[in-house]
Every structure is written in structure tokens, then in C-alpha cells.
Amino acid sequence: MSPRRTWTELFFLDEPTAFAAGHRPCATCRSADYRRFRALWETVHPADEPGADAIDRRLHAERARGRAKRTARVELAGLPDGAMVARGGTAWLVQDRHLLEWSPAGYLARVPRPAGGSIDLLTPLSVVDVFRAGYRPVPHPSVRSVGQR
């Protein structure tokens, strides 16, 4: 692990999972993705101070309430691909017209995305804004093979 107060190695199943946990692409090991994410972030959040430290501070504030995961109640119909939601005690990835059931090993099931209604959003709202602006998080390869439930 890196020395304290620099950066911490974190590993997630995929980008949507990392974003739902309140993290951004690494500026060192995923430099191109970080630059693309940061450029879109600065476009949709122009009042924020620029740079990784400012992004990290905002994500930290949005991801937790004490030790509890912070969520937002939102309309499902308006969510972009890549957002993660909680449904029935399980995390789901919004992908096209479907929700894909998340697991630590990959996605397990695909169900039709309900046309309306509200749902608990796991991905920070500031990141969802970046998705709407054009950032496309890369999901785990299991999204291509997961079947209908």
C-alpha cells in the first residue's frame, strides 16, 4: 500500500461499482479515463474547485453519512447507463432497458427496467451528472452474458 496521505490502492469489480462506492478513476494507473472524467466533471460542476482533491472531497461527502452509505431517492426512468441502484436489498446496474443484478463476481441476472417509479440511487448524484454529460463507465464483461430472470 502507498504511504498515508497520498493514495490508496482500491480494487472494484468494474467502473460502475467503483463509482457507486464514491470513487473516481485513478489519475495514475487510468490516466486517460481520469482526464476524460475530470474534463466532463469540470463542465457539469463549474462552480467546484478544479482537480482530483476537490473531486475526492465532494465524492467523500456524497458517499457516506457517518459509516452508513448515503443514497438518494430518484426517478428510475431518468437514470443513465452505469448508475447503480438498490432494489430489494440488492445492488443493480442500469444498462440500456434493463437492470442487472450485481454480485462481487459479476452480474447475475437481467430484468426489464421498470418504466417509472422511484428508486434508491447508490451512485453519487455528482457522478450521475458526469454520466449524463457523456462519460460511459465500463462494466464487467459478465454484462454481455447475463440472462433474463
Q: What is the pLDDT of residues 97-108, one digit of tens each?
A: 999 999 999 999
- Record the cell numbers describing residue 123, joined without a space: 451512485
* Domain coverage including residue 61: 15-144
Residue 10 lies in a domain: no
Q: Yes or no: say if 78 and 123 are a contact pair by the CB < 8 Å rule.
A: no
Residue 123 lies in a domain: yes
Exposed, middle or buried by CB within 10 Å (0-12, 13-18, 19+), for 115?
exposed
Residue 71 lies in a domain: yes
**pLDDT for position 51:** 86
88 Rama sector, left if φ>0, alpha if ψ -120 to 50, beta otherwise: left
Residue 118 lies in a domain: yes
**pLDDT for position 1:** 45
**pLDDT for position 7:** 56
Total domain count, the chain: 1
- Rounded to whole angstroms, the Cα distance separating 94 from 32 reads 24
Angle ∠(146,74,41) on CA atoms, nearest 5: 85
Helices (H) and strands (E) in the chain, counts: 4, 8
Residue 107 lies in a domain: yes
- Rounded to whole angstroms, the Cα distance separating 124 from 139 reads 17
Identify the CA nearest to 130 among candidates 32, 21, 49, 55. Answer: 55
Residue 99 lies in a domain: yes
Residue 3 lies in a domain: no
Which segments of the chain have a pLDDT < 50? 1
φ, ψ dihedrals at 78, nearest 5°: -90, 5
Residue 30 lies in a domain: yes
What pTM, to 2 d.p., does this model score? 0.89
Q: What is the DSSP letter of 77?
A: G
